Amino acid sequence: MGVQVGIVGKPNVGKSTFFAAATLSPVETGNYPFTTVDPNKGVAHVVDECPCRRFGVECDPRNSECVDGRRFVPVELIDVAGLVPGAHEGRGLGNQFLDDLRQATVLIHVVDAAGATDEEGRPCEPCSRDPVEDVRFLERELDEWIAGILSRDWDRTVKRASLEKKPVSEVLRERLAGIGVSLEDVERALDESGVPDNLEEWSEEDLRRFAREIRRVNKPMVIAANKADVDCAEEYIERLKREVEYPVVPTCAEAELALRRAAERGLIRYLPGEGDFEVLKEDELSDRQREALEFIRERVLERWGSTGVQEALNTAVFDVAGMILVYPVENESKLSDSEGRVLPDAFLVRKGTTVRELAYKIHTDLGQSFNRAVVLRPDGSREVVGEDYELEHGDVVKIQTS
C-alpha cells in the first residue's frame, strides 16, 4: 500500500476545505489512473524537484507529473470526520473517525489558528480558543483509543502469551495489527516508554505510557495552523511553535482552494506551493474575484510565503513520515524504461530502504533475481552498489539482475 495521509481535527477547522484544495488536480490532466472509492478519500500530491532538471533531459512520467521541473507524486488523502471530545467512547462520529485513521501513515492535524471555534468546533469569540488545547485534546483521544484497543481482554491475552511463551513484542504487534503497527513500531515504543519486560507486571499506567509511544511512532503528526489569514493567527502560530513537539505549518486552505480553482479555469497561472500567481485573463475576472485574489496575495502569500497547503503535505510525507523519492530506470544511458519513457516512475519509500527492497517493491521477480544496482549521477558518473545500499532522496537507479 502507498502512503496515506489522514486529515484530522475537531469540526469546523477547515479539514474539508484543505481536502478539497489538495485533491484538485495541480496540473491539467492526470495521466495515471485513479478512481475515487469514497467521497472522503482522494489523491493529493507531494512535490519535489524533478531529476530531469539536474540531468538536463526531458522526462515522460507515468506514475506522477512533471510541471516546470517540479515532480508531483500522488499520495492518498483521507478527510477524517470531525473529532469531538470523548470520540474514543463513541461520541460524535467517534468510532468512524478512529476507523478512518487506522491505516494512515501520517496525520495532518488541522487546527483553527484564528481561535474562533470552541472545543466542539462551534463558532465562538474570535481569538478566544487556544489551538494548543486542541493539540493536547487530539493527543489524548488518540492515546485513549490505542489504550482501549490494547486493554480489551488484556488479562486473558497476557495469560495466554505467558503460557505460549510468546515474545512480548509479538503479542503487542498482534493486538495492534488493525491500526497498521509493525514489529519495529512496537519495539521502538517499548524502548521509549520504559515499561516492564514482563506483560504481567504492567500497570494501567504502563499500558497508557506504551499507548502514547505507539501513537508517537505510528501516527506521527504535523500541525496545519489553518485560517492563517485571520487577525490573531500570528500569535497563536507562535504559541503553537513554542508549545508543541510537532512541525507547525501556517495554512490558508480557503486561499489554496480559490487559487487552484482559478488556475483550473485558466484565469491564473499558479502551481501549488508557490508564493505567487500570475493573472492570465484579466478581463474575465469579476470585481469580486479580483478582490479575492488581491486579498490572497496580500494577506496570505506575502505574509506567509505560500498558502501552506503544499508545504503541510510535503512536511508530513518527507519530514515527519520520513519518506524519500527514488527513480528506478531500466536504460542507463537514456534514463528510461523499456518503452523509452524517460524517468517514468517516482517511488515513495521509507528512508533506510535498501536498493534490494526497492527491487522487491517494483516486482517480486526483480527482487529475487537482484544482482547489483547502479546509481546514476548527472555528471555521467555511475556508482555500482550492492543489495544493502540505502537509497538517498532523489536517487536515479538502475537495478541489474543476474
Ligand X SMILES: Nc1nc2c(ncn2[C@@H]2O[C@H](COP(=O)(O)OP(=O)(O)OP(=O)(O)O)[C@@H](O)[C@H]2O)c(=O)[nH]1
Compute the distance between CA of residue 251 and CA of residue 79 in angstroms, rounded to an integer.
16
Q: How many CB atoms lie within 10 A of CB 153?
A: 10
Among 3, 15, 190, 354, binds ligand X (CB under 6 A): 15
Nearest CB to Mg ion, comparing residues 82 and 308? 82
Nearest CB to ligand X, comparing residues 80 and 106? 80
Nearest CB to ligand X, comparing residues 12 and 103? 12
Among 42, 51, 82, 273, binds ligand X (CB under 6 A): 82
Stretch that binds Mg ion, among 8-16, 172-180, 239-247, 367-375 (CB under 5 A): 8-16
Nearest CB to ligand X, comparing residues 208 and 227? 227
**Does position 227 bind ligand X by CB under 6 A?**
yes
Q: What residues from 233 to 252 belong to the interface with ligand X (CB under 6 A)?
A: 252
Q: How many CB atoms lie within 10 A of CB 287?
A: 7
In the complex, minimum distance from the CB of residue 311 to ligand X, in angstroms, rounded to a whole number:
14
Among 14, 42, 61, 94, binds ligand X (CB under 6 A): 14
The residue with its CB nearest to ligand X is 82
Nearest CB to Mg ion, comparing residues 13 and 176? 13
**Does position 253 bind ligand X by CB under 6 A?**
yes
Contact 43, 75 (CB under 8 A): yes
Compute the distance between CA of residue 79 and CA of residue 230 in angstroms, rounded to an integer.
23
Pick what 253 binds: Mg ion, ligand X, none; C-beta below 5 to 8 Å, kind-dependent: ligand X
**Does position 230 bind ligand X by CB under 6 A?**
yes
**Does position 13 bind ligand X by CB under 6 A?**
yes
In the complex, minimum distance from the CB of residue 151 to ligand X, in angstroms, rounded to a whole number:
28
Q: Phi and psi dihedrals of 279, rounded to 5?
A: -75, 130
In the complex, minimum distance from the CB of residue 331 to ligand X, in angstroms, rounded to a whole number:
45
- What is the x/- site pattern for Mg ion, positions 13-52, by CB under 5 A? --xx------------------------------------
**Does position 12 bind ligand X by CB under 6 A?**
yes
Nearest CB to ligand X, comparing residues 309 and 323? 309
**Does position 4 bind Mg ion by CB under 5 A?**
no
Pick what 17 binds: Mg ion, ligand X, none; C-beta below 5 to 8 Å, kind-dependent: ligand X
Stretch that binds ligand X, among 227-235, 287-295, 327-335, 347-355 (CB under 6 A): 227-235
Size of the site for ligand X (CB under 6 A): 16
Cβ neighbours of residue 176 closer than 8 Å, sequence gap 6 or more: 146, 149, 150, 185, 186, 214, 218
Residues near ligand X, by CB under 6 A: 9, 11-17, 82, 226-227, 229-230, 252-254
Interacting residue ranges for Mg ion, rule: CB under 5 A: 15-16
